[in-house]
Amino acid sequence: MIRLFTALEIPPHAADRLELLQSGFKGARWIDRDAFHITLRFIGEVPEDMAGDIDRALSSLRTEPFSVTLDGIGEFGGKKPHAIWARVAENPQLMQLQTRQENALRRIGLQPDRRKYTPHVTLARMRRGVEQADVMRYIERNNLFCAGPFEVRQFVLMSSRLSQGGGPYIVEREYMLGAEPDFSSEFGGEEEEMDADFYEYVFEHAR
């Protein structure tokens, strides 16, 4: 099995701003800046023989580059908070890309993701016993946070290991926005051999 998700990467100047938020809160397990990302579609654990289908489905998408702004702070968990995150400002192009990925992955047989999609960058995961009031005070202190806009020119397919913090994450494929759909893996010859090498690499690093 291999554990996959698609995401947008965070450029260094925005990661610098996010790191400034990672202090002043006891009970937080801060996320390493190398792991900052905006999840588009969590795929989860899938059989290894589906990797090729997933890659071809994502390669077929055509979306133009767009800009993203991070604006404000939020939390997951309510009375039992378990994560703090930076919010992605409303963005129709990002939502369109996410919807197209969702539809493409459903067409190859993946189950739909029933959770409401909330684009964000996770800043910290909470240790047990953290009080909701403490999280709310942290959010109030930092809710004017803003970073960007920054241009998005690609999305990536990442693999991860099932661990407490979710990482480490490995970029397995990059998909350029604005490029013509790439169907090369559907044909034989050298391209097919290159894809076979890629999948062998993915499986080796995702176990």
Q: Looking at residue 46, which CATH number applies to its domain?
A: 3.90.1140.10
Kindly give the residue spans of alpha helices, DSSP state H, lying in 60-172. 92-107, 132-142
The predicted structure's pLDDT at residue 78:
92
Overall number of domains in the chain: 1
Q: 152: which strand partners?
A: 66
Q: Can you give the residue range of the structural domain that contains 87?
A: 2-206
Average per-residue pLDDT for the chain = 86
All residue ranges of the chain with pLDDT < 50 are 185-207
d(CA 207, CA 162): 10
Question: pTM here?
Answer: 0.84
d(CA 136, CA 130): 11
Residues 187 and 175: beta-carbon distance below 8 Å: no
In degrees, rounded to 5, the angle at the alpha carbon of residue 37 between the alpha carbons of residues 81 and 204 is 105
Residues 43 and 5: beta-carbon distance below 8 Å: yes
